[in-house]
Chain A
Amino acid sequence: MDNYPVLIVVAPLLAALFSGLAVWIEERLSYPIALTGLAISVFSAFNVLLQVITSGPIQYRMAGWAPPMGIEYRIDLLNAMVLLLVSSIGFLNLVASYKSVKQEIYDRAPSFYIVYLLFMTGLLGVTATGDLFNLYVLIEITSLTSYAMVALGDRDRGPLASLNYVFIGVIGASFYLLGVGYLYMQTGSLNMADVAHILQSHQESSIVLTAFILCIIGLWIKMAFFPMHVWLPNAYSYSPVAFARVVAPLMTKVMVYVMIRLMITVFGLDYIFKSPFLADAVVWLASIAIIFGAVMALAQKNLKKMLAYIIVCEIGYMVGGAWMGNQLGMTGAILHILNDALMTFAMFLAVGNIVYKLKDVELFNLTGLFGKMPWTMAGFVLAAFSIIGVPPTCGFFSKWYLILGAFEKGAYHFAAALVISSLICAVLFFRVFEICFFPPISEDSGHKKSHSPVVMAEAPVSMLIVSGLVSLSLIVVGLYSGTIVNTIIIPFLK
């Protein structure tokens, strides 16, 4: 079918519309409609990926309008992979969300599903599009829906976190829009391929340089790259769990994808690495981001906040890898988009299960959790190992490429930052494990052997299955990372 590329994006959009309409008939209909929409998305994304691997990039013209006038969807190996990743995570999270939405936002469940679908539409659109202005519109769709979602969460602190997020998000979007404006001024086009072609004769233009810097800064704000990360921890930890589980792994990673897309497809790597100074500065900043994120994570007493700072740290990995200026670093960055999305998702799924049972995730509340929720904690442990970078989980392999890239460039500070952040992650996760492994210190701890039998109290099966599946995928993706690199990333970079 030729329409798969657009179906990926349109299916959730239509589903949002229909589940909105369906609420008038029967409230319970909105969930199955949402599920169907995303299932179609996953299916189409899978087909598109196969098609791109076998027969090269796909260009899809919206309503048949030819670029540069019409909007074009251009899908190559990179965004085919990201599309499948985004749609699968969106779908799996929806499966796990049924129970947690019921518990957490019981009175507004249908509106949650509608906004959720719009959010997914935005993310998938951002990934699929080949048009710079269309990209802006879709980024705004994702952002606006996230503002709404954050506000839906924690009823005391959610709205404030959301407001903060709106202010910074709008600034980021404005930067990007301004950058696109400058580009349009110079090239008169908005189609990525077209712009890239025209730019080849404007290499020295200061307008292009301004445009580039504005776009990248806009994206950095959106992806929470240090020091533009301040909105992220509160926004992610006060949003409803069902949304945090999807925004944490996807939002920032899709923005990293957009950055890489601009770097490779629009401006071109030769242009970006023409002056070594800029790249060096960014890699230094990335190293600082990594250390800062890790140290801040160590200082947190709440599990969600801790994970939010780990995201800040991981963004440093990807930005640093992308700006390394060699193939190994870029391979690491792209592989890490996939791996980090999966491991953050696995981590937040486990946290979601814990929240479902315990309501809050202050660290000191987690004692004895290995006995109470063994399956959830098994998933948690795997995700943590992946973030630390223990082989054969996938986190190890992207770290491998990133460190190799750093060695090749001679950016030893970046390699050191990666190693230090692994160490800090090891400390902070084992601190959590320790709390969960040891029973609470009771009054009569004099009796050494008086371990009261622990009663199992696991999350619902639907949540457990998803969390187990995603955690296992960390190992599978890790073991097959050679295949992923050889069939997707290296052909893309060639």
Chain B
Amino acid sequence: METIISIKPLMAVLVSLLVIPALISSSDKPNVRESWIFVAGTINLLLILSMLPVILAGKQIALTLFEFAPGAAIAFRVDGLGMLFAIVAASLYIVTSIYSIGYMRGLNEHGQTRFVSFFALAISATIGAAFSANLLTLYLFYEILSLATYPLVAHHQDEKSRISGRRYLTFILGTSIALVLPAMIYCYHVTGTLEFSTAGIFADQLSKPAATVLLLMFVFGFAKAGIMPFHTWLPAAMVAPTPVSALLHAVAVVKVGVFSIVRVMTGIFGVDLLADFNLGVVVMSIASVTILTASCIALSQDELKRRLAYSTISQLSYIIFGVALLSPQGQLGGVIHIAMHAFGKITLFFCAGAIFVATGKKYISQMSGLGKKMPFTFAAFFVGALGVIGLPPTGGFYSKWNLILGTLEAEQTIFMLVLLVSSFLNAFYFLPIVYKGFFGKSEEENEGTPVKIQEANLCLVIPLIITAIISIVLFFYPTVFVNLIKVGLGI
């Protein structure tokens, strides 16, 4: 495979980092500060997109920064998977920044400069994780991301956010130090390298029990992926302001976790080794448990953001499930769900935030009849929900379709049932919200006051319409993402 040496991946990582001093220095001029974010976000996206044609042509872009031992370096390598993830994160960052302005100013939040600075740092780390050439670099950005998001989760600086922040770090930082770190060093001890390669790095140095233990250490250790029982940080993290929940806890942070697991399965172990040891089924079973349990818990949540959080936990496991199928179709369906779920779920979170800013309502039981007041928001919510359930005409359908085909291809019919049951559950916990929103009656209506359209401010509504539209567009044109995955996984 042809490799091009270029500084672009480094620049894409640095651009969000270097803008932080500018953000801090313009902290008393909010408009200047916000324009910096857009400048950096746009440059970031353009840099990433400029690499797209090269990647689609089947080449890779690489850059080694520091090699501290043979086979262990801090290095970037852009391939199809990383590209896919980076495009999703960088484009949604811009949309979220618009939303963030509306949300943070709408609620007159404190510490906005701190908020946007750590947000930028988190994006920088996410792009870094996407472009990592080896496990060490991935681990580095994974840790930076954990630490950068702590001040965002604990943003409100009250008792509730203190407890949530603690839980957040305990699970995310604790598992990465206790499980991933020793597993990673053990891999290096056995093979002398940590470089991702489609064939895997182990020749035949691992026995089946050792491989199983190692794989489980990675799967549970990357707790950002929300595999049960290490998932409880995600609902707790919902105390953060909604832009954080939307971009970081539906897209960037959680998907760095999933992405790491995908990388370890495809780049460290390699599909062949997993198939030989029959480890795909093990991971699939773990993912299935999470998919079903989280969906059931989601049904019982009344707070909208918590319901979305449990839905995210279940959807993340779809991705891992798909990759663990070890069949081309399944892997395609799994990985493309990174993008499809991102656009759907961020729309839902945007809606939840818009509802909160416009009406102050957080609980689903308070939301009947709200669709008449906020028709755009609820329409977008409907589209987002369709995307997550996996119904046409949204991108989510494409990933579900491929996942189900994947189960047939891998002859795992029982696991197909998991997908079907979960889709039903998804429909059960999302569609009633939309139905009641449009057709239910609010208290005011019962009292006989006429209903007027009262949407949230434009900064909140435009982003959620954009992401909803992209969700639909992806149903018709998933080609770019599909090609990226095919190039990335060599299928």
Contact = CB atoms under 8 A, between A and B. Distances in A.
B157 A392 contact: no
Nearest to B139: A391
Given A400-B185, A403-B185, A480-B66, A419 B177 contact: yes
Contacts of A419: 177-178, 181-182
A407 B189 contact: yes
Contact of A392 (B140, B151, B159, B169): B140
Interface stretch (A78-86, A101-109, A260-268, A444-452): A444-452
A121 to B, nearest CB: 35
B68 A422 contact: no
A363 B158 CA distance: 19
Interface stretch (A199-207, A299-307, A433-441): A433-441
B186 interface: yes
A137 interface: no
Contacts of B392: none
B173 interface: yes
A385 B147 contact: yes
A430 B188 contact: no
B296 interface: no
A172 to B, nearest CB: 34
B177 A422 contact: yes
A438 B147 contact: no
Contacts of B67: 482
Contacts of A390: 143-144, 147
Interface string B68-105: 11001110000000000000000000000000000000
B178 A423 contact: yes
B189 A404 contact: yes
A449 B110 contact: yes
A451 B185 CA distance: 44
A77 to B, nearest CB: 18
B373 interface: no
B162 A438 contact: yes
A448 B156 contact: yes
B165 interface: yes
Given A404-B185, A448-B156, A482 B177 contact: no
A144 B173 CA distance: 43
Q: Which size class do A's interface residues fall under?
A: 20 to 34
Given A448-B156, A480-B66, A482-B66, A434 B166 contact: yes
B182 A481 contact: no
B174 A451 contact: no
B143 A479 contact: no
Main secondary structure of the interface of B (DSSP, over half): helix
Interface string A393-425: 000010010011001100000010001001100
B360 to A, nearest CB: 13
Contacts of B188: 404
B182 A448 contact: no
A485 interface: yes
A412 B136 CA distance: 21
B340 interface: no
Nearest to A479: B66
Contacts of B189: 404, 407-408
A82 B414 CA distance: 63
A426 interface: yes
Q: Which size class do B's interface residues fall under?
A: 35 or more
Contacts of A426: 169, 173-174, 177
Interface string B153-169: 01011110010011001
A313 B159 CA distance: 32
Interface in B52-76: 65-69, 72-74
Contact of A485 (B65, B68, B186): B68
B446 interface: no
Nearest to B111: A451
B68 A481 contact: yes
B108 A449 contact: yes
A438 B157 contact: yes
Interface string A459-487: 00000000000000000000111100100
A170 to B, nearest CB: 40
A297 B226 CA distance: 31
Nearest to A434: B162
A407 B185 contact: yes
Contacts of A392: 66, 74, 140
Given A403-B185, A407-B189, A437-B151, A482 B69 contact: yes
A38 to B, nearest CB: 31
Nearest to B170: A427
Nearest to B108: A449
Interface in B358-375: none
Contact of B68 (A385, A397, A434, A449): A397
Contact of A451 (B144, B157, B178): B157
Nearest to A385: B147
A451 B110 contact: yes
A403 B177 contact: no
30 contacts: A385-B147, A388-B177, A389-B177, A390-B143, A390-B144, A391-B139, A400-B72, A403-B181, A403-B182, A407-B185, A407-B189, A419-B177, A419-B181, A423-B174, A423-B177, A426-B169, A426-B173, A430-B166, A434-B154, A434-B162, A434-B165, A437-B151, A437-B154, A438-B154, A439-B157, A445-B159, A449-B108, A479-B66, A479-B68, A485-B69
7 A-B pairs with the lowest CB-CB distances in the bound complex, closest first: A482-B68, A391-B140, A407-B189, A403-B185, A479-B66, A451-B110, A390-B143
Interface of A: 385, 388-392, 397, 400, 403-404, 407-408, 415, 419, 422-423, 426, 430, 434, 437-439, 441, 445, 448-449, 451, 479-482, 485
Given A400-B69, A448-B156, 9 more contacts: A390-B147, A391-B143, A397-B68, A404-B185, A419-B181, A430-B150, A434-B154, A438-B162, A479-B66
